[in-house]
A and B are shown apart, each in its own frame.
Chain A
Amino acid sequence: MRHSARPPQPTPGSQCPSFAEVWPVLNEQATNADLAASARAHLATCAYCQQQLADYERLDLDIRRYLGPSGPPRYRTEELMKDILEGAAEQPAAPSVPPLAPVAPASPQSRGTAVPGTRRVLSGLGALAAVLVIALLAATLFARFAPRHPTPATKGTPIVKGTSTPPLESGLQGQVWDIAMVSASEGWAVGEADHPLANGGVSPQALVRHYQHGAWSSQVLPIGGVLTGISMVSASEGWAVGRGFEVGKPDSVLLLHYDGHTWKQVPGPQRADAEQVQMLSASEGWAVGDGSILHYDGRTWRRQALPTSLGLSAAKTIYVSDISMLSPAEGWAVGTLQVNGNGDTSKANPPSSGVILHYIGGYWTVQKIIQRAGLAGVSMLSAADGWVSGSISEANIPGYTAPLLLHYSGGQWAQAPQPLNLGSYLITGSFGPISMVSSTDGWVTSFDSGLLHSILLHYDGTAWSKVELPNIQNIIEYSLNNLAMLSANEGWAVGVVNVTSSLASPLMLHYLNGVWSVYSK
């Protein structure tokens, strides 16, 4: 969109903000017709909105020009066909089902919308086998796409406190990524604040929130970047980590120390990444991120050697997503191995695997590798009891992931039974951060891709069940990025709520004595 120099910008009038969301989609059928008509009437007399609309039209042109399929194909079809046929022959034929509900036929003469395969007329043993496969598939699909049913209330199930007002915090746009409570009356949270630029753009800036006297206050630090993890040892000692964006420099790891008065940035290792942190004491801590496990010895953060058995290379990388240390001598970390190679190597191996790492005796070792999985969270209660959350690809339904929970008990990791009554959430499902309070109490986050909001599941010692969160109305979507439980009766979950298409605000949910409610000033 680098066109001729822009003339002096017209200034917006009082009505202009109400049409800001219309200009990008003015000609979309789904745009409210009355609103579009009002917008067009306003447009005739408003130079500012004319400029806005012209910008979007130029943006559309550039998207089509630069991101559309123009130019010659990059690959030769005959070579591509060779790869396709060879690859298809290497893999066992999976029952073919469409990835979602079938797309409606374009013309009436097209056939109906029954599950593919049910129209076939087969005979003999092949038919019997096919019927069994189809029945299994139909049952699976029915279970997946069945209407949502409310989870029946049971004894001990946390109840929900609804709200009808968006949890807007005036003056603060951005989101919260992690939270660490020191006590029920004091805690910290970190994230990013949208920092508006003079030219209309935005850039993220490190956000720190402090909970005291029953209220959250915010401080936007003069550091470009995003804070994604925090761990407090006490009210006067803690660390926050994330990634820094600084003009003219490569992205860098952010390591911020709190000394009881201020948050100060300290230098970190080159080419390191830290997205989660766990401090065991003021002089002992760990941080994990993309390709990195870092250790703090009271003076310096240093990269730790990753197990050589992982075979890491430029083509095979690991994203370490979470860590749970039990002591300076023992802990666990989880992540995802990604194969970025090409050729036969990538075809012969699954594209990614979940990895559980165990730290003992001063070394990180590979405890378990789960094919086709990605691991997001780990919460260990003891050396013999813990949980891991993540997702696993469905072998029979390409492109889909199912939520995954692993329980460590008796020295073995075992997949936990899938929670029931999850409805549309099961479509491309995954579990996010997990927080165990005890062996009979825990929480894990997930996202309902159908309803566009996060969900929480609660563990009561025997099963995981979904807990409905506060019904926040008049918003587009909300998601929870992390949670911290103080006890079985109290905790916090943090994230972001998109109040409008252009307004994202931090979201803080408070759990107290069985009730989840939205924090608002």
Chain B
Amino acid sequence: MHERLSTLSVTLMTLAAFTDMVDRHQHALYTFLRNLVSDAEQAYDLMQDTFQEAWRASRAGADPLIAECTDDQRRRWLFQVAYHRGISALRRRKLIRWESLDLLREMAAKPAGDTGSFEEQIVESEALRAALARLTSQDAACLLLRVAHGFSAAEVGQIMGVAPNSVAKRLSRAKQRLRAVYLAHNEEAR
């Protein structure tokens, strides 16, 4: 393998460089997948699948899993693979994405503690996840990539395979829906 690759015009990532990449992006990738598929174990499996594909791509000297490429390019590639794996998993899991409002209702039923308390932060984050689950998978992914992970609209378009204009429309729709549900939770909680 090394003899064949020695004639290539690209430089393979070393194991140390690959490990460094995993270390740098695993938490963000897991967080993205966890919020997309709403299942911690499946999110871990999808993250692992994504990195395994990255490892195979890096051994084959595929762009951008090579030494010459930047970390930003590799980050986009990882999220691109993770996004498609996540969407694919959701489609397999259910063609109709049922999500319950129960969590929101449970959260709303709990008395609100002091602003900023640890317990309230947990309640808030779970309520936001439950509200997120009311969006379509693509809208949720768009929102997560743009707002939670800070990709530009153009990058989100590249990751999701849609035009930047479509990203803005999805983003507007996603935020309006999220706001409506999330605000409803907060109003009920008062």
Contact = CB atoms under 8 A, between A and B. Distances in A.
Asked if A and B bind, the verdict is yes
Interface of A: 1-6, 20-22, 24-25, 28-31, 55-56, 59-60, 62-69, 72-75, 77-78, 80-81, 83-85, 87-88, 91, 93-107, 110-111, 116-117, 119-123, 126, 177, 197, 199-203, 228, 243, 245, 247-251, 275, 290, 319, 321, 336, 338, 340-342, 346, 351-352, 374, 376, 391, 393, 398-401, 427-428, 430, 432, 449-450, 452, 476, 498, 501-502
B44 A75 contact: yes
B73 A105 contact: yes
Nearest to A336: B92
B63 A73 contact: no
A290 B98 CA distance: 10
Contacts of A200: 179-180, 183-184, 187
B176 A20 contact: yes
Report whether over half of chain A's contact residues are helix, strand or loop; otherwise say mixed. loop
A340 B173 CA distance: 31
Given A248-B105, A342-B41, A63 B147 contact: yes
Interface centre among A62, A99, A103 (most CB of B within 10 A): A103
Contacts of A105: 69, 73
B148 A67 contact: yes
Nearest to B35: A67
A399 B149 contact: no
A24 B115 contact: no
Contacts of A243: 98
7 contacts: A24-B176, A30-B167, A66-B129, A391-B92, A428-B87, A432-B95, A501-B170
B52 A84 contact: yes
Interface residues of B, number: 109
Contacts of A197: 184
Interface of B: 4, 7-10, 19, 22-23, 26-28, 30-32, 35, 39, 41-42, 44-45, 48-49, 51-53, 55-57, 59-65, 68-70, 72-73, 76-77, 80-81, 83-85, 87-89, 91-96, 98, 100-102, 105, 109, 112, 115, 120-121, 123-125, 128-129, 132, 143-144, 147-149, 153, 155, 158, 161-162, 164-190
Report whether over half of chain B's contact residues are helix, strand or loop; otherwise say mixed. helix
Contacts of A245: 100-102
A401 B148 contact: no
A3 to B, nearest CB: 7
Given A2-B120, A93-B60, A399-B85, A121 B7 contact: yes
